[in-house]
């Protein structure tokens, strides 16, 4: 019985991790533009008032294609307000959050997610 509980817990954890991929949790907002073994490039769009499900990103670079304002809610209950102008760039360490467009304009960004073990060498 103890083994069954361990297996169930591991399956639940694996399912939970998979569900946190933003392309899965919010496929109506995220589109994969490019992906290889080192990076994944996402196009993200939403409208004013829209909110994402909780999801995770590895370390990433974000490029704002349009001005927007959003609230980022972290799992520990803290919130971050972010406001971007067209052309702004942000680097972030890995993060799990819920995002909400609290501005009056749509959000449109390009995100480049770094995959773990990404080599830093130049070829």
Q: Are 85 and 109 in contact (CB under 8 A)?
A: no
3-state secondary structure the chain: CHHHHHHHHHHHHHHHHHHCCHHHHCCCCEEEEEECCCEEEEEEEECCCCECCCEEECCEEEEECCCEEEEEECCCCCEEEEEECCCCEEEECCEEEEEEECCCCCEEEEEEEECCCCCCCCC
| Residue 3's pLDDT band (cuts 50, 70, 90) | low
> What is the spatial distance between Cα 50 and Cα 29, in angstroms, rounded to a whole number?
10
| Residue 7's pLDDT band (cuts 50, 70, 90) | low
Q: Is the pLDDT of residue 22 over 70?
A: yes
Q: Is the pLDDT of residue 119 over 70?
A: no
For residues 81-106, give the mean pLDDT.
Answer: 97
Q: Is the pLDDT of residue 42 over 60?
A: yes
Domains belonging to the chain, first-starting first, are 2-114 (2.60.120.10)
| Residue 31's pLDDT band (cuts 50, 70, 90) | very high
């Amino acid at each position: 019985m103890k083994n069954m509980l361990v297996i169930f817990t591991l399956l639940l954890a694996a399912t939970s991790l998979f569900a946190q991929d933003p392309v899965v949790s919010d496929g109506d907002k995220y589109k994969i533009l490019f992906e290889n073994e080192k990076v994944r490039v996402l196009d993200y769009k939403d409208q004013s008032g829209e909110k994402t499900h909780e999801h995770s990103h590895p370390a990433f670079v974000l490029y704002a294609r349009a001005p927007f304002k959003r609230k980022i809610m972290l799992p520990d209950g803290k919130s971050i307000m972010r406001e971007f102008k067209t052309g702004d760039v942000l680097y972030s360490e890995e993060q799990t959050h819920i995002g909400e467009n609290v501005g009056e304009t749509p959000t449109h960004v390009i995100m480049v997610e770094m995959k773990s073990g990404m080599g830093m060498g130049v070829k």
